[in-house]
Structure 1
Amino acid sequence: MLVQGICPPKFEELKNIFQKYFDHNEETGANFSIVKNNEILVNIFGGLKSKNSSWDENTIVNTFSLSKGIYASCIAKLIEENEIDIEKKVSFYWPEFKINKEKILVKDILSHQSGLFRFKEKISNEDLLNFEKITCILEKQNPDHEPGEKTYYHAKTHGYLVENLIRRIAKKSLKEFFYENFSKKYDLNFNFGFEKNDFNNVSDLIENSPEFEKISQNFNAFNNPKHEMNFYNSKDWRLAGVSSMGGHGSALAVAKLYDLLANDLKFNNNKIISQNKFKEILKQSPSRLDESLMLPIKWTYSGYILRGGWMFGRNKESFGHNGWGGSLGFGDPVEGIGISYVTHKINSGMGADMRAVNLIKKAYEIFEK
């Protein structure tokens, strides 16, 4: 199974590493991309998107929480246009939200400090498809702690909270807003809800480890509802475009977006957000243990994660988001690049996936030559 795509001789070592993943059955379908100043340096892909179809340059896949970094970019655009102020109360934009939550600020939600990190009543995967039902649940729900007091990754609730802010402000769904302001404008093969043609290009997910979570009597950020791979491969899921964990795209699309953002920060290109405003919202929120992930995640007040380890490269200025299973994307304003890896072979866990990290490390070695 040969790797295909764009890979000049300078980056041949990346192609060799990627090929070995398929040779050793570590990977069965994936895409890795590097974009710099709108130039595609690398865009390699291989494997199968389904039992009978090969992965190609148009293949998209469910990226799970990588999606959160994509819609953080929508918030960045609204900040640039002075449509949203992260220091304001959520209820300023969403009046029904204030029931027992009057003190929660927009930045508390974006940085996972709002206390609404879980659903406290039992819900089903089918409920996740009903945006109005879920937002109504969150409107009425009491937070688990005072805003800003603790940090808990909002794995499934986050997208509904953020998208409803976008809907209240822009009068558009996330799907519509992202398409009009990003996908259409910059030719990004990424969506929050399928159109008919997308079904021809999508890759089915494969579970590498069938046991993701232990059943707990206490609902947490992850186990309500429980992950069901067949559901994530369903037509209904793909049509719904569940923002927290249902964005579908290619690595090239993600790398192109983070390249734009990285160079807005580096050169003040102002394609999405001005340099000064971006610097302000990339400030790290209070440094503490994320009690959902039990890791010291560096959350910003805009919804991005700051560099930790090698997951977002060598430079501490990098920002991005990864997703359950192995997909990730980030921008590095020092190098002025966007990088992404997407896969359909799901490894359990939210930590760094070595399939991506090995390629990222090698890429930085090549940059130094």
Structure 2
Amino acid sequence: MPLLMSFRRWWAAIFVAILLLPTIGLVAPDVPAPLRTVLEPEGRWWEEAARRADPYINNAFGFRGAVLAAHRSYVRFLGDTQGDLALKGEHGALFLKDEHALEQSLGQLVRPEAVSGFVAFAARMDAYMKAHGGRFVVLVPPNGHTTNFEYLPAYARRLKKEPTEYDLVARQMKAAGITFVDMRPILAAAKKDGPVHWRYDTHWNQRGMLLGFNAAMAAAGRPDLEVKPQDALGPPEPRLTGDLLRATGARVPNPPDVQFPPKGPMVKPRNPNLIPGIVKPVPANDPFVPYAIDTGHPGPRIMVIGDSFSQGSWQGLGVSQASAYAWMHHRYCRFDMGAVERFRPDILIYVPTERAMPCRGEPTDWPPAPGAG
């Protein structure tokens, strides 16, 4: 009996077509998918081929967009948290998937031009503050993916490459003579005595917040303004919430997170004496409301340009140590420079979180570049 009878030929053709689908998918139109973080295999990929080539294959297989879309629908059907916003790691830890934070922390996404632009912008701010007799400090709170690296899924940890954007920023800031605080070794050392970043939230916890503030004061040449942990932090207690838990609808894990209730100088003032005419008003629905506070006691004038990592967490600390304290959002290098000029800080701290380091669009046109005007 012939091996390939007429009906068997059709089955053979279908079988071969199925085998060719991944190859066809490499060139056929696809549905939109997340950015491919590995564009080509590493050099000499045949050495330790699985370790070097697997990340490329995982990013370049046929019909990648369709497969990822189907997987996303499947995990949503199961009620899992691995949707568009959060990645589930070891021991139930959650990590933000937005703003390329994961790829950035792993060194899979490195934008040299964006890094150089950020450093050039910081250099202009540094020159402005020096010209006005003040101190300028850049401090970058790391992504949760960086601080809690050990909680990332195993496959993600294996993708870690160097240098990362944080590495490049640290090197270029030093080369440019800009005072820069690398929080990574500070937080890593502090983790030996307890957590510094929440596991189910995108932010650092109260220990991390205090470590960051103290590091900024020391970098500004004012270690006398540092606040002792025993004066600012209460004993650890369970924390049953977190922005990633709320965003994904996930249940509170067991064990829950740990928080250190603020006390003393870390508690925000109830009725701060706001200084009028410093910051411009923002829309009522803007989550980042700027403020300038007259504290009524001696101290330097401190201004912080940051985001949610410093907005409320540093307010009590700043008010307790400064004669006047101001905060506004960095707007990715497009903040209101007029507020800086009106406030006239002795210490200016630029503190974007790691994923918000790159400037977006044209930076604020103040201070002018050297030689301009």
TM class, shorter-chain normalised?
under 0.3
Higher relative CO (Cα under 8 Å, sequence separation at least 6) belongs to 1
TM normalised by structure 1 equals 0.23
Query: Which structure's residues are more often helix, by fraction?
Result: 2
